Structure 1
């Protein structure tokens, strides 16, 4: 954790192999009763929020920045994941994405755009496969 960064966690569970970096002035909020399985990578330059009751599989990567400047600009935008979201194995979520409550992200997806509440998305880049899905842990 760099200077001025904030980590909020209330009953969030990580399995082994979590690789988390909070850069200067960043904010990471992890919702209660949510978990991330093994070998996750979180790179927080700005603001990442993971809601309550989320189930996140292994090899998950989330980055709210492209990390390096391109043409003098650094693309850094917040990421917000809603409540009761299921994220499959080897999913990557990039900067500026909002994931709605109850959404499901299929294994191997690359999420570059917002995911509506209750939608199932998958693919590279992720696209809506089905709407109005419901899931249980």
Structure 2
């Protein structure tokens, strides 16, 4: 949907830049303490769910059925494949009577120009550098340096990319 026509369905504290295309089935869950900010020229396809606080830079693409949870930041020109999940929801380790203790949302940061393949899962507390490629189906559980091609479960650096 063109940003000029979207104001009626946007929740409070969601800001979408100019020349964006947002599918009408995208779900935004934001509030005063959990804003969603989307940069200019960004496209978000059908079925995506975004729970703030989330920041998506300029010129990004989030393909269909993306899942972006609180404390996720995508840099500029990031491409996200379909069915990709940015999962920040977690828990402290509790006692044996209930191991899922207090909630926590460690951040995820993705650097400018990165391409994330289809069905990737990225867990909270991780950073993916600038100019990376994350192979389809990977599970990112630790930081990935700039310009790395990473894949696997758990994701490991396969090689460093050059221009």
Judge same fold: TM > 0.5, yes or no: yes
Whole-Å separation in 1 of the counterparts to 2:162 and 2:117? 15
The corresponding residue for 2:20 is: none
Aligned-residue Cα RMSD (Å) equals 1.5
TM-score when normalising by structure 2 = 0.73
TM-score when normalising by structure 1 = 0.85
Equivalent positions of 1:85-100 (< 5 A) are: 85-100=114-129
The corresponding residue for 1:70 is: 93
Q: Would the alpha carbon gap of residues 2 and 37 (structure 1) be closer, same or farther in structure 2, given more than 3 Å must change?
A: closer
- Using the TM superposition, give the Cα deviation of residue 129 of structure 1 relative to its aligned residue in structure 2, in angstroms: 0.6
The corresponding residue for 2:12 is: none
Whole-Å separation in 1 of the counterparts to 2:30 and 2:62? 22
The corresponding residue for 2:80 is: 56
Higher RCO (C-alpha 8 Å, min separation 6): 1
For the Cα contact (< 8 Å) 1:120–1:133, is it kept in 2? no
Whole-Å separation in 2 of the counterparts to 1:6 and 1:19? 14
Describe the SS at the equivalent of 1:20. strand
The corresponding residue for 1:35 is: 61
The corresponding residue for 2:49 is: 19
Q: 4+ runs of 1 displaced by more than 2 Å?
A: 72-76
Whole-Å separation in 2 of the counterparts to 1:84 and 1:2? 26
Asked if 1:102 is matched to 2:126, the reply is no
Unpaired runs of 5+ in structure 2? Answer: 1-28, 95-100
| Deviations 1:39-64, CA, capped at 9 Å, x for gaps | 111121xx211000111110010012
The count of residues paired between Structure 1 and Structure 2 equals 127
For the Cα contact (< 8 Å) 1:30–1:49, is it kept in 2? yes
Whole-Å separation in 2 of the counterparts to 1:38 and 1:2? 20
Whole-Å separation in 2 of the counterparts to 1:39 and 1:76? 21
Structure label with greater radius of gyration? 2
